């Protein structure tokens, strides 16, 4: 009780200090400050109401066995959703399910559903969706999160790797989305989320296969958004920067083998929990796009659109530096 009273006193003290600072600055600043505070309070109330609307929603998440997908499962689950966990590895899905039940055991919510599936097996995905609908009765939100990455130059990457990345990241996502759409259109209710990447907005060297698949996803989502608006469906495309997951470790090298290590940029990226919370907020706010990255990638995105010659120059320099680094590494061995 003493702790709660102390926190309350501190909050009141902070509010008084803020109000006093506006008074000192003058009536104009005071008016702007009060408007800003009221705007933030209104936004917080609207956001809370949006989170409340998630209760009871059926949320299907692909790639839910680890990383960002696992974090998304926790984020939707704690807001009262019935989450359907989809990925290839049943054992890992079981682990995530048990973790959800134990971590949020004080909540009254819906037990998670497990649906093992392979996004690369696109002919079977409609059957898996039918099984989900037979269990849950509906699908309110589809989060297309599952996918894989690649590392390697265009010259060193086999066409089989290109096919694999495109099959899982693009065609698997498209097949899953089309399988879910029929029910959503019939009910005139639903939200489809595409977890793309900043590299779906700006391609970088050594990521041709991955960037191409994410560029394709961006285009598909834009077309879909326009078409399903007449059916009252929503589409959100999320483009995160680097996230601290095993995406680079599990990425395919140019010859198809596992890359097997974590990039420095990935290791210093956002936490999966932060990105998951931001994605759920984008869903609640019905944002059409959400770019989740630091300032530098945003500048590069801006340059690609308005100063393409600068973007091309920077990427050429980066590719040249990467080639020299690889050559130096081979020479030292």
- C-alpha to C-alpha distance for 72 and 83, rounded to whole angstroms: 9
Instruction: Pick the closest to residue 76 from 221, 288, 291, 282 (CA basis).
Output: 282
> Residue 176 in 3-state DSSP?
helix
Kind and range of the H or E run holding 253: strand 252-253
CA angle, corner 271, sides to 266 and 276, nearest 5?
120
Query: What are 83's strand-pairing partners?
Result: 59
Cα angle: 256, vertex 266, 74; to 5 degrees: 100
Give, as one character, the DSSP assignment of residue 110: P
Q: How far apart are CA 231 and CA 224, in angstroms?
A: 11
Crossing angle (nearest 10°) for helices 295-306 and 308-332: 120
Annotated active-site residue in 77, 210, 242, 311: 210
170 is catalytic: no
Only one residue has tokens 């977890």, namely 195
Q: Which positions ≥6 away from 92 have C-beta within 8 Å?
A: 65, 66
Residue that the structure tokens 């309350």 belong to: 8
- Cα dihedral 26, 28, 34, 39, rounded to 10, equals -150
Residues contacting residue 93 through CB under 8 Å, at least 6 positions apart: 64, 65, 85, 86, 87, 114, 116
Nearest alpha-carbon partner for 183 in 116, 228, 147, 119: 228
- List residues with catalytic annotation: 210
């Amino acid at each position: 009780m003493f702790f709660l009273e102390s926190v309350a006193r501190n909050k009141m003290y902070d509010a008084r200090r803020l109000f006093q600072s506006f008074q000192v600055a003058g009536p104009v600043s005071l008016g702007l400050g009060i408007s800003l505070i009221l705007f933030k309070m209104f936004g917080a109330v609207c956001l809370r109401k949006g989170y409340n609307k998630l209760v009871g929603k059926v949320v299907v998440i692909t790639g839910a066995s680890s990383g960002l997908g696992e974090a998304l499962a926790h984020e939707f689950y704690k807001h009262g959703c019935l989450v359907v966990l989809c990925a290839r590895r049943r054992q890992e899905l079981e682990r995530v399910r048990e973790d959800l039940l134990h971590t949020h055991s004080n909540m009254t919510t819906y037990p998670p559903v497990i649906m093992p599936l392979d996004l690369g097996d696109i002919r079977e995905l409609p059957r898996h969706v039918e099984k989900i609908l037979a269990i849950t009765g509906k699908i309110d939100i589809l989060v297309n999160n599952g996918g894989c990455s690649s590392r390697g130059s265009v010259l060193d990457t086999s066409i089989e790797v290109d096919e694999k990345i495109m099959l899982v990241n693009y065609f698997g996502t498209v097949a899953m989305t089309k399988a879910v759409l029929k029910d959503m259109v019939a009910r005139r209710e639903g939200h489809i989320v595409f977890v793309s990447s900043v590299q779906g907005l700006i391609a970088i060297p050594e990521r041709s296969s991955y960037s191409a698949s994410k560029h394709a996803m961006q285009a598909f989502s834009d077309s879909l958004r326009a078409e399903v608006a007449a059916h009252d469906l929503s589409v959100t495309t999320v483009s995160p920067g680097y996230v601290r997951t095993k995406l680079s470790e599990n990425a395919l090298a140019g010859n198809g083998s596992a890359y097997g290590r974590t990039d420095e940029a990935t290791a210093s990226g956002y936490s999966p929990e932060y990105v998951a919370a931001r994605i759920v907020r984008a869903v609640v706010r019905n944002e059409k796009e959400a770019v989740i990255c630091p300032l530098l990638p945003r500048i590069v995105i801006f340059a690609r659109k308005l100063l393409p010659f600068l973007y091309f120059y920077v990427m050429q320099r980066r590719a040249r530096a990467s080639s020299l680094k690889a050559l130096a590494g081979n020479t030292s061995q």
